[in-house]
Structure 1
Amino acid sequence: MKTTQKSPALTLLGQKDVKYNYAYTPEILETFSNKHPQRDYWVKFNCPEFTSLCPITGQPDFATLYISYVPDKLMVESKSLKLYLVSFRNHGAFHEDVVNIIMDDLIKLMSPRYIEIWGKFMPRGGISIDPYANYGRIGTKYAELAQLRFNQHDLTTMDHVDNR
C-alpha cells in the first residue's frame, strides 16, 4: 500500500495504460492528504460491479459494495480503490470475509476515524448474503458511532428498497 502526502505523487490517477490485476492486490491502494482534517465529513463509494469467487465452487459472486468513512489525515485515492476492488475478481473468499478483508486493508491504509462496509451480494441458489461491518477508532466518539450504527443497521436496511 502506497501513501503519498502530495497529489502529484499519485501513480495511478490519470494513467491510461493501467493494467488490471485480477489477483488480490492490496499494495495497489494509494492515499492522499485530507485537506479538511479539522472537520468530520463522510466519503462514500458505491461500487455496483464488484465480483469475487466462491472459495469452494469457484463460481463468481456479484455485489454492490457500499464503503463509507470519516477520514482523518489520509484518504484513499478512488482509482487505486477501483483497481484494488477489481483485484478480487479471481480471489476466492466468502462474502463475509470479503467485507472484512477490505475493511482491514482500508483501516491499515488510512487509519480513518470511522469506516463501514456493506456488501449486498446477488442471490445465488435462492439466497443473498449482505454482510455489514464497521469500525470506529477506539476511545473516541467514533467508537460510540460504530456501536450505534451497528445496533441500528437492521433498522436502516428496512428503509431501503432492494432493487435486485
Structure 2
Amino acid sequence: MTVERDFLKAGNPRKIVNLYATVLSSDSRNSIEGELREHVAGLFSLALTHFAFAERLRAADWRQQVSRYYYACYNASKALRFFSEGHFSAEVADHKKIGELPDDFNDKDKFKLNLENMRTDRNTSDYDHIAVAADLLATPPEIATTTRDFLTAVRDYCLARGLTLGEV
C-alpha cells in the first residue's frame, strides 16, 4: 500500500470533493476517494495489528491486553469515521470520539457504550498503579469479545459500501 502522507494534512477530503464538485473532474474525485480508501485500509490494518498482539498476551498481562484491545478499537473507529465522514485527527482529544459512530452503524448504541467503557478501562490499565483486573468495567475476555465484534462490524460496514478490509 502506497499512501500519500500529506493527504491527511489537506483537510476533510469528503468536504473538499463536495465543495469543489463542479470544478473537479471525475478522475480527480475518484483519485481522492481512492486515496481516502487507502488510508482507511491502513488504519484498519493497524487495528488488526493491535488486536493480534493483544491476542498473543497471557492473561497475567491484562494491563497490556486491555491497552492493545483499546487501540485496536480506537484505530478501527478512526478508520470508520474517516471513511464515513472524511474526518481524521491525530490529536489526543480524538480519543474522546471513539464512540462517535455513523448513524447507520449496526448496534451503534451498544458499541458506543462498550467503546467508551473500554477507554476508561484502558486508562485504568495504563495509569492506575494500584488497579487490579477486578477494577475494570469489563473483564479482559469481555473486552476481547467486544474488540472482535467491533472490528468485524467495522469491516462489514465498509464492505457493504464497497471497501474490502482485512480479516479479523
TM-score surpassing 0.5? no
Question: Looking at CA atoms only, which structure, 1 or 2, has the larger radius of gyration?
Answer: 2
Higher helix share: 2
Q: Which has the higher contact order (CA 8 A, sep 6+)?
A: 2
Higher strand share: 1
TM-score by length of 1: 0.29
